[in-house]
C-alpha cells in the first residue's frame, strides 16, 4: 500500500487592485463589525501574435473587527489597496433558489495605497496585528 503524501496546509494570498464600489458595513450575529468590498485587479499577458493584452478579474474581500472599521472609514470606490489574507468558499442561493459557490478573500491585512492615506495605512497595520 502506498502512503499518501502529506501536503502542508497553506492558504495565503496577496493581491493588489482597486475597489469597484463603496465598502459595505454590516454586523455578524455576535455584533462583530464586518466589511465587504468588490476588488478589481488586472492580469497582463501576450496573445498568440505577441500583442500585449490585459484582462480584469473581480473578487470579493471580507474583513472583520478593527480592520473592517478602518476600511469603511478610509476606503472609497476606486481606492487602491494591497490585501493579504486567505481564500474561503462562500455558498449562497441565487434568485431562483439554486446554490452556488464563490471563492472570496478573508482579509488579515489591508494596505491603503492612495498617497493621502499613507499615515492611515500604518495605523491599520497596528490594528490588524492586535486582531490576529
Q: Total structural domains in the chain?
A: 1
CATH number of residue 123's parent domain:
2.40.50.140
**Position 123 in a domain:** yes
pLDDT at 124: 52
17 part of a folded domain = yes
Name the residue with cell 487602491.
80
Do the domain assignments include residue 47?
yes
Task: Please report whether residue 71 resides in a domain.
Answer: yes
Residues of the chain with pLDDT under 70: 1-2, 116-132
Q: Using CA atoms, how far apart are residues 72 and 60, in angstroms rounded to an integer?
A: 15
Q: Is 95 left (phi over 0), alpha (psi -120 to 50) or beta?
A: alpha
Assigned C-alpha cell, 85: 489574507
The answer to whether 97 and 110 have CB atoms below 8 angstroms apart is no
State the pTM of this model. Answer: 0.76
Q: What is the pLDDT of residue 2?
A: 61
Amino acid at each position: 500500500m502506498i502512503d499518501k503524501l502529506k501536503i502542508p496546509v497553506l492558504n495565503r494570498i496577496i493581491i493588489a487592485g482597486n475597489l469597484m464600489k463603496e465598502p459595505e458595513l454590516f454586523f455578524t450575529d455576535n455584533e462583530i463589525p464586518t466589511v465587504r468590498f468588490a476588488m478589481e485587479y488586472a492580469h497582463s499577458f501576450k496573445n498568440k501574435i505577441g500583442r500585449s493584452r490585459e484582462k480584469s478579474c473581480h473578487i470579493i474581500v471580507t474583513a472583520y473587527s478593527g480592520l473592517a472599521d478602518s476600511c469603511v472609514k478610509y476606503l472609497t470606490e476606486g481606492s487602491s489597496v494591497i490585501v493579504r489574507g486567505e481564500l474561503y468558499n462562500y455558498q449562497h442561493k441565487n434568485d431562483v433558489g439554486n446554490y452556488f459557490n464563490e471563492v472570496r478573500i478573508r482579509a488579515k491585512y489591508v494596505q491603503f495605497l492612495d498617497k493621502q492615506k499613507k499615515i492611515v495605512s500604518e495605523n491599520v497595520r497596528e490594528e490588524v496585528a492586535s486582531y490576529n
